[in-house]
Amino acid sequence: MSVARFAQVMNATDIHLDQACLAISSTIQAPLDEIEWLAALDVLAAECPEPTPDGVARHLFGDLAFRGNSGAYYDWRNSCLDRVIDTRIGIPISLSVLMIEVARRVGVRLIGVGMPAHFLVRAADDPNRFFDAFGGGVELDRDGARRLFEQLTRGQVAWQDSYLEPTLAQPIVIRMLNNLRAIFQSRSDELRYGLVMQLRAQIPQLAHDEADDIAAASAVFN
């Protein structure tokens, strides 16, 4: 049922990140009540005292102490939005989705920026204003984002200005699935790897490009 829900969300004209992420969570762990967790996001938004990009950042990463899970970065639960809300820890992309969705609820439009090695949030109306959700919601300009990238990659990857281009909803979801696929594959978790591949099969582009891998992964369910 969760896979079907994921397909429904991803085939909508307007993809909602919160719904897509909760469908992923409900697939790779025990089924959850989507309405309950959407309501939890509503509560986080209702408690935000200042409906601005920096106000949302201060609320989530200051007042509520959401933070990056540096100690267990590759724990797959970091990619589950319900777990992030519950434990207040996550990885760059899941904390960014949280910030984007809370901001949307208070009328602030934020967009994802999926640069290599990290994930940032950008103010939709200011191409020079970024937030590092994993880094405590710190605000960065373009130069600051580049310096962060160079620090994370240790100068081993050449910088490109295109790394700060906005990332749409579908590529954000695919990147989350990429992370989960890599984690479950490295841990030889065949069941969850198979479930992630079932989710990938609901995205036409991936269903075509990864048909053989999807078929092979489905063997665990036979």
Residues 6+ away with beta carbon under 8 Å from 185: 193
Query: Quick check: 1 pLDDT over 70?
Result: no
The reported pLDDT for the residue numbered 205 is: 95
Give percent of the chain above pLDDT 90. Answer: 99
Mean predicted confidence (pLDDT) in 186-211? 98
* pLDDT digits 0-9 by tens, 160-178: 999 999 999 999 999 999 9
Counting Cα atoms < 13 Å in the Cβ hemisphere of 200 gives 27
* 89, containing H or E segment: strand 89-90
* pLDDT digits 0-9 by tens, 25-67: 999 999 999 999 999 999 999 999 999 999 999 999 999 999 9
Which amino acid is residue 35, in one-letter code?
I
Query: Looking at the chain, how many residues does it have?
Result: 222
Number of H helices and number of E strands within the chain? 11, 6
Which amino acid is residue 103, in one-letter code?
A
Distance in angstroms between the alpha carbons of the first and the last residue of the chain: 18
Task: Tell me the domain boundaries of the chain.
Answer: 2-221
The reported pLDDT for the residue numbered 222 is: 84
Crossing angle of the two packed helices 169-186 and 92-105, in degrees rounded to 10? 150
Residues 6+ away with beta carbon under 8 Å from 32: 22, 25, 26, 82
* pLDDT digits 0-9 by tens, 74-117: 999 999 999 999 999 999 999 999 999 999 999 999 999 999 99
How far is it, in rounded angstroms, from Cα 96 to Cα 48? Answer: 16
* pLDDT digits 0-9 by tens, 131-158: 999 999 999 999 999 999 999 999 899 9
- The DSSP secondary structure of 126-143, one letter per residue, reads -TT-EEETTTTSEEE-HH
Give percent of the chain above pLDDT 70. Answer: 100
Q: What share of the chain is helix, strand, coil (3-state, %, to 5)?
A: 60, 10, 30
Residues 6+ away with beta carbon under 8 Å from 200: 174, 177, 181, 206, 207, 210, 214
The reported pLDDT for the residue numbered 81 is: 99
- Contacts within 8 Å (CB) and 24+ apart, 22-25: 22/81, 22/82, 23/199, 24/79, 24/80, 24/81, 24/173, 24/176, 24/177, 24/180, 24/199, 25/80, 25/81, 25/82, 25/83
Chain centroid offset of residue 192 CA: 18
8 Å CB contact between 73 and 50: no
Q: Average pLDDT over the chain, rounded to whole?
A: 97
Task: Assign 44 to helix, strand or coil.
Answer: helix
